[in-house]
Structure 1
Amino acid sequence: MRLSSSVLAAATVPLASAQLHYWAQKAGLEFFGAATDTPGFRERAPYPAQYSKYDEIFADPKEFGQTTPTNGQKWMFVEPEPGVFNFTEGDYVANLAKKTGKLLRCHALVWHSQLAPWVEQTKWTPDELKAVIKRHIFGVAEHYKGQCAHWDVVNEALDEDGSYRKSVFYNVLGEEYIKLSFQWAAEADPGTKLYYNDYGIERPASVKTAGAIRIVKLLKDAGIRIDGVGMQGHLHADNHPTMEDHVKTLTAYAELVPEVAFTELDVRIKVPVNESKLAWQKESYQFVAESCIRVPQCVGITLWDFYDPFSWIPHVFPDNGAALPWNEDWSKKPAYDGLIEIFKKFAKEKEDKEGKGKGKKERRLIA
């Protein structure tokens, strides 16, 4: 999606050195990152001339300290045929994370979408499908064992009304597939943190938020480990949660699991883009950043890519776009500066607090 020159001018912030991850850590988060994908995939195919600039920004450790494979670890790529594994696409991002020194979040072991066709086209008995899920989880998780800081074990198990999504997994196994998936993921890679990940679970009164809490309790009541909840954060500039909403929701999850995170953040704008919409978007990004800092269990934030032309949004929602901090011409939206403002504010508060604490300790030693 192309922006007019006047809106691009308004969307551009003063040139600043790479710093999102740097300042997020200064503010107390573990990471600020961006998902990425294999060159040539759908969104990227028309833009090969931009790859070198994209790679330069992505690689900078001060800008992004974490990444997630957008597509490469999904079932259709890693097990295209029964029992036949192909890790080419997933390994691209895993190796890129190693090369650029980034934390790797892995995504996703069991999801109803982007399945290999054979999974949905077969009429399974419960025992047969259990065996298929187990083989898939062990095959994939063991391949990436020791590389993934987090795994999105089950992704989007909830429908829009908060009930379980009628996927092939649920239709055959009911909610048992969720328990089995987390059990087997823990066995396959005991060192990784296991997440439930979903969209629309950011607002405290949402039926999907209630559904996510139900899933966490289901696992905990069964004695099955779950380490975190991933709030995807596919938000809307003109109707986004408040900072207080985010804090309340994050706190509700944090009462049940050790960690929470914003895992797929973007803030879409209804086109055409204008200054008011960019201001709403900036506010939405800031609310996410501030709420994550305010809730100690919130470990970090991941953008669902960072460069507008590589965003999934216009392909799925044609009347929306401009969801990411970098514009098509590589200028930055006000949202970028807004994130830095929040991180610097809390970094200073943290530094002041630590300085006062150090001063008190020194005075006690002198006394």
Structure 2
Amino acid sequence: MSTQASTPSPSSHRRRRRVLRPLPLAAAGLLVATGVYALPQLTPGASAATTLRGYADARGVRIGTAVGDSALTSDSSYTAVLDREFNSVTAENAMKWDAVEPTRGGFDWAAADRLVAHAAAHKQGVRGHTLVWYSQLPSWLRNGDFSATQLNSILKSHIDTEVGRYKGRVYAWDVVNEAFNDDGSMRSSLWQTKLGTGYIANALKWAHAADPAARLYINDYNIEADNAKSDALYALAKQLLAQGVPLNGIGFQSHFVVGKLPSTMKANLKRFSDLGLEVSVTELDVRIPLPASAAELAQQSKDYKTASENCLGVPRCAGVTVWGITDKYSWVPSTFTGYGAALPFDERYTAKPAYTGLSKGLDPKA
């Protein structure tokens, strides 16, 4: 597909588990089948119109970012930009299984609680990420050799506990993350191998029971274009809705290489929206070969504008989330050798042309 080289491989996604260190400076209601829904906790005009948050508030949508616990707790410049520019936050790692349940039945909520508390104090929504994923599983689960019955019980208990803990405080969950291979087949994983594809419907049902107001998503990468992978996800989504499974939305991760956004992205998002589903860009970044030239930074600005417009130009687009604030903490350089400069702010928290592009994509008057 046209964006194949622009999106992360499954192995690269695993690398999000590490605590990111600063780079050198050089370097909520259920969406029903009718598609009627309302965005909670948003007040039009609630923030300065010239910020990303201001534009999103004026439009009644989310502008979010992934948040790392280390930066949240140690970098005042980071939190200043976070609170000024974003009305939604996603836990970068703090809500993943290995972080919250490192031992069976033993939970560590410290980092996740910090993010939820910070968001509440700054009137930001929280997007939960992620409940069921093939990666970042603790060793007790990964190596446990559980029977299907045992694994099913473990999965339900984990979802019940985590979603229940944040009931009413998390507006959406990436319930199932990266369930497909690029050819449209189901990814081989602990869940798929032991439980079959039915684990997806069960996970959605259990999450809905734990918090009926939260929006429930399937989230994946390389699905932005009309291709085999997005076709398979579309077929599954249609099937789940026909069965009455509480699926509310699809998350399009949108990890791109500069200048390589798929031309079919908007039409592809629309076909999911036409099913009555929310669509959201959930992990947007646009990486550039280093060192980034002025021309590439200008193109990156256009790409941010186009990506956000591709979503916001579709009915039921709930918003756009970027996978980080600043190049200082970006996952890109450590995952894609020779690439970086992927985010709207540079290492010194100076807004890049990408910030302007994203602003224009969000601005309802643009």
Normalised TM-score (structure 2): 0.84
SS of equivalent residue, structure 2 residue 342: coil
| In structure 2, distance between residues paired with 1:77 and 1:137 | 14
Q: What residue in structure 1 maps to residue 319 of structure 2? A: 300
Q: What residue in structure 2 maps to residue 123 of structure 1? A: 145
Indicate whether 1:31 and 2:62 are aligned: yes
Structure 2 unmatched ranges of 5 or more = 1-22, 28-47
Indicate whether 1:55 and 2:63 are aligned: no
Q: What residue in structure 1 maps to residue 207 of structure 2? A: 185
| In structure 1, distance between residues paired with 2:303 and 2:215 | 28
SS of equivalent residue, structure 2 residue 194: helix
Out of 334, 340, 343, which is 1:324 matched to?
Answer: 343
Number of aligned positions between the proteins: 324
Indicate whether 1:92 and 2:129 are aligned: no
Q: Which protein has the larger Cα radius of gyration, Structure 1 or Structure 2?
A: 1
Tell me the CA shift for residue 110 of structure 1. 0.5
Deviations 1:237-294 (A, max 9, x none): 132223xx22101101101233111111111112221122212211211111212221
Tell me the CA shift for residue 4 of structure 1. 6.3
Q: What residue in structure 2 maps to residue 19 of structure 1? A: 51
SS of equivalent residue, structure 2 residue 348: coil
SS of equivalent residue, structure 1 residue 68: strand
Runs of 4+ displaced beyond 6 Å: none
CA contact (8 A) 1:246 1:287 kept: no
CA RMSD in angstroms, aligned pairs only: 2.0
SS of equivalent residue, structure 2 residue 282: strand
The amino acid across from 2:191 in the alignment is F
Sort the Cα spacing of 1:222 and 1:341 in 2 relative to 1 into closer, same or farther, 3 A: closer
| In structure 1, distance between residues paired with 2:313 and 2:49 | 25
Sort the Cα spacing of 1:117 and 1:18 in 2 relative to 1 into closer, same or farther, 3 A: farther
CA contact (8 A) 2:270 2:315 kept: no
| In structure 1, distance between residues paired with 2:290 and 2:66 | 24
| In structure 2, distance between residues paired with 1:214 and 1:258 | 13
| In structure 1, distance between residues paired with 2:265 and 2:305 | 11
Q: What residue in structure 2 maps to residue 77 of structure 1? A: 99
Structure 1 unmatched ranges of 5 or more = 6-15, 349-367
| In structure 1, distance between residues paired with 2:256 and 2:276 | 23
The amino acid across from 1:230 in the alignment is G
Indicate whether 1:168 and 2:190 are aligned: yes
| In structure 1, distance between residues paired with 2:60 and 2:236 | 26
Out of 210, 213, 216, which is 2:231 matched to?
Answer: 210
Q: What residue in structure 1 maps to residue 290 of structure 2? A: 271
Tell me the CA shift for residue 17 of structure 1. 8.5
The amino acid across from 1:225 in the alignment is P
Sort the Cα spacing of 1:40 and 1:30 in 2 relative to 1 into closer, same or farther, 3 A: closer
Indicate whether 1:343 and 2:362 are aligned: yes
SS of equivalent residue, structure 2 residue 365: helix
SS of equivalent residue, structure 2 residue 70: coil
Sort the Cα spacing of 1:276 and 1:256 in 2 relative to 1 into closer, same or farther, 3 A: same
Tell me the CA shift for residue 188 of structure 1. 1.0
The amino acid across from 2:348 in the alignment is D
CA contact (8 A) 1:229 1:257 kept: no
Deviations 1:146-196 (A, max 9, x none): 111101110111112221110100011110111111111111111101111
Deviations 1:54-108 (A, max 9, x none): 1111122xx2111111110000011111111221121111111101110111111
SS of equivalent residue, structure 1 residue 302: strand
Normalised TM-score (structure 1): 0.84
Q: What residue in structure 1 maps to residue 45 of structure 2? A: none
The amino acid across from 2:247 in the alignment is I
Out of 255, 265, 268, which is 1:246 matched to?
Answer: 265
Q: What residue in structure 1 maps to residue 303 of structure 2? A: 284
Out of 233, 240, 247, which is 1:219 matched to?
Answer: 240
SS of equivalent residue, structure 1 residue 122: coil
Q: What residue in structure 2 maps to residue 314 of structure 1? A: 333
CA contact (8 A) 1:260 1:298 kept: yes
Tell me the CA shift for residue 213 of structure 1. 0.8
SS of equivalent residue, structure 1 residue 81: coil
CA contact (8 A) 2:49 2:55 kept: no
| In structure 1, distance between residues paired with 2:153 and 2:212 | 20
The amino acid across from 2:54 in the alignment is Y
CA contact (8 A) 1:69 1:90 kept: yes
| In structure 1, distance between residues paired with 2:210 and 2:357 | 40
CA contact (8 A) 1:238 1:269 kept: no
